[in-house]
Structure 1
Amino acid sequence: MRCGFCLPACPTFKETGVEAESPRGRISLMKAAVDGIMEPGISFEDQMNHCLGCRACEPACPADVKYGQLIEQARDAIETHTKQHRWWVSGVRKLVFKELFPHQKRMSLLGSGLHFYKKSGLQTIVRKTGAVKVFSKHLSDMETILPDASSKGIVEQLGTYIPAKGEKIATVGMFRGCLMDVLFTETNIKTVKLLSEAGFDVVIPETQNCCGALHAHSGESDQAKALAKNNIRAFQEAGVDYIVSNAGGCGAILVEYDHLLHEEPEWKEASAWFAVRVKDISTILVEQGRPLQFAETVDGGASTRVTYQDSCHLRNVMKGSNPARQLLKEVGSVAYIEMKDAGSCCGSAGIYNVTQPVMANQILEHKMENVNATAAQYLVTSNPGCLLQMKLGIEKHGQKDRMEAVHIADFLYDRVVKN
C-alpha cells in the first residue's frame, strides 16, 4: 500500500514535509535496503532513528500495516549488521541496556543517587555555580523538571499484596516498571490504592523487571525478549486475572509480548496468556472496576479546568484514549476541555527527546500552542515520558504558576472519596 493516509498523521512529516520523514517513505527505504537497491548507511540509519515510533500511522492505515513492528525490525537489523558505535556509545548502551534497566536493585541505587542530588542541596549548588551548563541545553532544561526520586519502590512501601476495599472483583498484577518505580513511586502507590478502592486485590510480583520497550525500540531485541520471558513467568506464577500498567509506553510492549516472542513456539501460549490480560489503569477502572466516588467539590469549590494529553502508545497501540477522559469528566467540579490534536505526539517518545532534541523541541512547541489555548489548570496524561515533556513545555512557556502537569492516577486518587 502506498496511499499516503499515514503522511498527515506522522509528526516528523508534518514538521518537515519530506517524504523520507514519513512512514511511507521509511518503508520504501527499508524495502530498498532489503532489495539491495541502496546501501543502508548513515543516512538510512538517521532516518530510522528520526522516527518517534509513536505509531500514529497505524490507526490511519486502511491496510493495517504494522509499521511499529517494521521500524523495530529495521533498528534491530542496523544494530546487528551495520552499525559501528564509537567506544563510549557502546559503553553507555551496555551500561543502560544490560547493566542497569534489567536490574531493579540497581535502579533503586539510581533512585537513591537522584534523591540525594535533589535533597542534599547539591542540585542548588550545581545550578548556582552554572555547572549544569556543562550538559547540552536540552539536558539542562530537563534537569529543571527532574522529579523527586526514591530509593524505596512500591514493594518496599506497600508490600507485595494489597487487598480490595469492600467486595473483591478480581485479582490484578501491578506492573511497577523500572524508571516508574524510582522516579514516580508516589504515582505507583496511588495507582495501587485506586485499584484497591475499585475492588481489586493487587499483587506486585517482586521478580518482575523492566518491560523491555527501550530495548526493543533501540535494536536490542534479544535483551527485550529475555526481559519479556521473565515478566511472563513472574505474573503467571502470581495467578492474576489482569496485568495493570500506568505507563502507556510500557503497556504498549506488554500487550505485544506475543508478537515479540512469535518466533519462539515454546512461548506462544504463555505470551498470548500475558498479552491478553494487559490493561491500562484507566481502562480497567472503567471496564471492570467498581465505580469510584469522587468528592463533589475540590480546590475550594471552584470549577477546575482540566485537559488531557494522550500517550501515543496508549492511544495508538492499546486503543485506550476514551477511558481516561470518561474518568476525568466524572470528577466533581471539573470543567473538561478537549485539547486540539490531543492525540498528536508531544515529542518525548521514550528517550527521543534526549537523542533527537531538535525535532523533539519543534514538536513540543506546536503541542504547547494547543495546550496554552485550553487555559487549563491541570494538564493530565498517562505516561511518565509525556508527563516530563509536558512539564518541560509548561516551564519553557512560563506557565508553571497557572498550570500543572499531572499523571491521571495522581489526579484521580487525590479527589476520590476513600472507603
Structure 2
Amino acid sequence: MTTSTEKETIQQQFQERIDEEELLNCMRCGFCLPSCPTYIESGFQESHSPRGRIALMKAVVDGVIEPDEDVERSLELCLGCRACEPVCPSGVHYGHLLEETRAIMNQNKKHSFPTKLLRHLVFKGLFPHQQRIRALTGMIGIYQRSGLQTVVRKTGILRILPEHLAELESILPSVPKMKQVKKRSELLPAIGKRQKRVAFFTGCLMDTLFFNTNQATIKLLQISGCEIIIPKYQACCGALHGHSGEKAQAILLAKRNIQAFEDLHVDYIVINAGGCGAFLSEYDHLLKTDAEWQQRAMSFVHKLRDFSSILLELNFQQQKLQLPNQVVTYQDSCHLRNVMKTFTEPRRLLHSIEGIEYQEMKNAHSCCGSAGIYNIVESQMSMKILDSKMETVKSTQATTIVTANPGCLLQMQLGIKRAGLSKQMRAVHFADLLLEACHYQCCQ
C-alpha cells in the first residue's frame, strides 16, 4: 500500500523527471493497440495498452490522478517488449518512459522486508558479480549431474513449488562444469584470414547457463574470420535492473561495461542475446545526464552489433551449410527487433541452410511472454501470451523453432512442453543451429 506522502513524492518526481514532450508526442491514435500483447490478452483493457499507460503517466504529471495501486499495476503488467514503438507514427520512445516511471515508483515505495531483501540479493548481491552467478549455476550443474535432479523429480517434491516454477525447472539447460567456463582464453584467433577484430559481450546468464551457446557464437565468428577478444572485467548488461526500476544499479553496470570495452581497438562489440543487446544499445540514453560518460557511451553503442549482422557482413551465408530436412520457423526476440532493428539478418541466414524448409510464423514479432523475469513475477499473463503464441507456432507445422535470446528460448521450450509437442518439436538458439549446420555439412 502506497502512503499519501509517498504518492506526493512520486507525483513530484513524475513532474520533474518524466519527459513531458515525449508524453505529448502520443497522439492517442491507437496504432499501438494491435501490437500490445497485454492489451489483447487482458480483453482489450485500455489501461493495459501503451496509449493507456501513457495517458496514466500524463494524468499523474498533470495532477489529475494520484499514482495509486491501479497506476502501479498497469505499469507492472507491461512486458516492456516495445512492439508499440515501430508502429507509432509519432515515434514515441515508450520504453524510455516506462523505465523512468518504474524507477520513480521503485525509489519512492517502501517495500515489505521480504521483498526488499529479495531485491537486494538479486539486483545488488548476485547479478553485478559474475563469480557469484558462476557459483550459483555451478550448484545447479551439480544438482543436474549428481542424480539429485532425478530423485527430486521422481519423488514429486517439485509439487510444493508454484506450477510455473516447477515447469521452468524442467526446461533448464544442462549446465557445464565451471572448470570449462574458466579455462576459455581471453583472445581467440580467426580461423583462416583475419577480416575483423571484435570484442564479445558474454553476458551473465549467457556465459553460465548458456555457455555452450556462447561457445557456438565464438566458433561462428572465428569461422567467419574474426579475431575475438573477451574483456575480463565486463559485467551484467543491467537490463533486468533497468526494467525493474533499479536505475542507479543499471548505471553502475553500464559504466563498468563501457570501461571494460574501451581502448580495445576493435571493429565491433558483438552480442548474441537480444535483451542484452537492446539495453547495451541505449547506454547513451541511460547516461544522457552525465557529461563525462555520455560520449563514452555513444562510442560504445556505435560499435555494438548482433552476431547475425556480422556473419552476413563477412559472407558467412556462402559457407556450405546443411541440416537434415526439417521445417523451421523463427520467433523474433522483441528487443532485438524493436530496439536493435535486427530481423532480416537471421532470416537471410536461415534461408542459406540446405535442408531447411522455412515457414514464417504469423506475428513472429509479437512477444512470447518471457520478458526477462516477467514469466516468473507475472506468470498468469505470461502463460496466456505463451499459449496464444503456441497456436501460431502449430500453424507453421514446424519441427524447429529458432530464436535469439535466452529468455525467449526457455519460454518457447516451455511452450512446446505445455502444448504436448516435445516429441515432435524443438526450440534452439540461432547460434547453436548455425554451428550444427556447419558440423553436419562437414560430416557428410
Per the normalisation by structure 2, the TM-score is 0.91
Q: Which residue of 1 aligns with 2:341?
A: 319
Q: Which residue of 2 aligns with 1:354?
A: 376
Shift of 1:181: 0.8
Q: Which residue of 1 aligns with 2:11?
A: none
Counterparts of 2:316 and 2:326, CA distance in 1: 25
1:169 matched to 2:191? The reply is: no
Task: Output one character per residue of 1:265-324: Cα deviation in whole Å (capped at 9) or x when no partner.
Answer: 11121100001111111111113455451344x32xxx2111100000001000001100
1:215 matched to 2:241? The reply is: yes
Counterparts of 1:354 and 1:109, CA distance in 2: 22
Q: Give the residue type in structure 1 aligned to 2:84.
A: C
Task: Choose 326-335 or 116-125, whichever is displaced more.
Answer: 116-125
Does the Cα contact within 8 Å between 1:155 and 1:206 map onto a contact in 2?
no
1:7 matched to 2:58? The reply is: no
Q: Give the residue type in structure 2 aligned to 1:342.
A: A
2:144 to 113, 118, 138: 118
1:90 matched to 2:120? The reply is: no
Question: CA 1:226–1:292 in 2, change beyond 3 Å: closer, same or farther?
Answer: farther
Q: Give the residue type in structure 1 aligned to 2:378.
A: Q
Counterparts of 1:242 and 1:117, CA distance in 2: 38
Counterparts of 1:211 and 1:292, CA distance in 2: 32
Q: Which residue of 1 aligns with 2:14?
A: none
1:179 to 205, 209, 216: 205
Does the Cα contact within 8 Å between 2:181 and 2:208 map onto a contact in 1?
no
Counterparts of 1:331 and 1:153, CA distance in 2: 34
Structure 2 counterparts to residues 242-257 of structure 1, below 5 A: 242-257=268-283
Task: Output one character per residue of 1:29-55: Cα deviation in whole Å (capped at 9) or x when no partner.
Answer: 111112222111222111101000000
Task: Choose 285-294 or 395-404, whichever is displaced more.
Answer: 285-294
Does the Cα contact within 8 Å between 1:154 and 1:188 map onto a contact in 2?
no
Task: Choose 382-391 or 123-132, whichever is displaced more.
Answer: 123-132
Q: Give the residue type in structure 2 aligned to 1:51.
A: C
Matched residue SS, 2:91: coil
1:134 matched to 2:160? The reply is: yes
Aligned residues: 414
Shift of 1:157: 4.0
Gaps of 5+ in 1: none
1:378 matched to 2:405? The reply is: no
Q: Which residue of 1 aligns with 2:357?
A: 335
Task: Output one character per residue of 1:215-242: Cα deviation in whole Å (capped at 9) or x when no partner.
Answer: 0000001100110111011111322211
Q: Which residue of 2 aligns with 1:229?
A: 255
Q: Give the residue type in structure 2 aligned to 1:383.
A: N
Task: Output one character per residue of 1:105-158: Cα deviation in whole Å (capped at 9) or x when no partner.
Answer: 111101111101111111112122221111101111111101112353876243
Q: Which residue of 2 aligns with 1:72?
A: 99
Task: Output one character per residue of 1:57-103: Cα deviation in whole Å (capped at 9) or x when no partner.
Answer: 0001000000000000000000112x221111111110110011011
Counterparts of 2:268 and 2:393, CA distance in 1: 34
Per the normalisation by structure 1, the TM-score is 0.96
Does the Cα contact within 8 Å between 1:243 and 1:278 map onto a contact in 2?
yes
Counterparts of 2:419 and 2:262, CA distance in 1: 46
Does the Cα contact within 8 Å between 1:4 and 1:24 map onto a contact in 2?
yes
Counterparts of 1:135 and 1:237, CA distance in 2: 47
CA RMSD of aligned residues (A): 1.5
1:18 to 45, 54, 57: 45
Q: Which residue of 2 aligns with 1:32?
A: 59
1:241 matched to 2:267? The reply is: yes
Q: Give the residue type in structure 1 aligned to 2:199.
A: G
Q: Which residue of 1 aligns with 2:10?
A: none
Does the Cα contact within 8 Å between 1:154 and 1:185 map onto a contact in 2?
no
Q: Give the residue type in structure 1 aligned to 2:404.
A: S
Counterparts of 1:74 and 1:316, CA distance in 2: 20
Matched residue SS, 2:80: coil
Q: Which residue of 1 aligns with 2:311?
A: 285
Gaps of 5+ in 2: 1-26
Q: Give the residue type in structure 2 aligned to 1:381.
A: T
1:44 matched to 2:44? The reply is: no
Does the Cα contact within 8 Å between 2:251 and 2:286 map onto a contact in 1?
yes
Does the Cα contact within 8 Å between 1:154 and 1:189 map onto a contact in 2?
no
Task: Choose 118-127 or 210-219, whichever is displaced more.
Answer: 118-127
Question: CA 1:291–1:328 in 2, change beyond 3 Å: closer, same or farther?
Answer: closer
Q: Which residue of 2 aligns with 1:108?
A: 134
Q: Which residue of 1 aligns with 2:171?
A: 145
Counterparts of 1:172 and 1:106, CA distance in 2: 27
Identity across matched positions, percent: 51
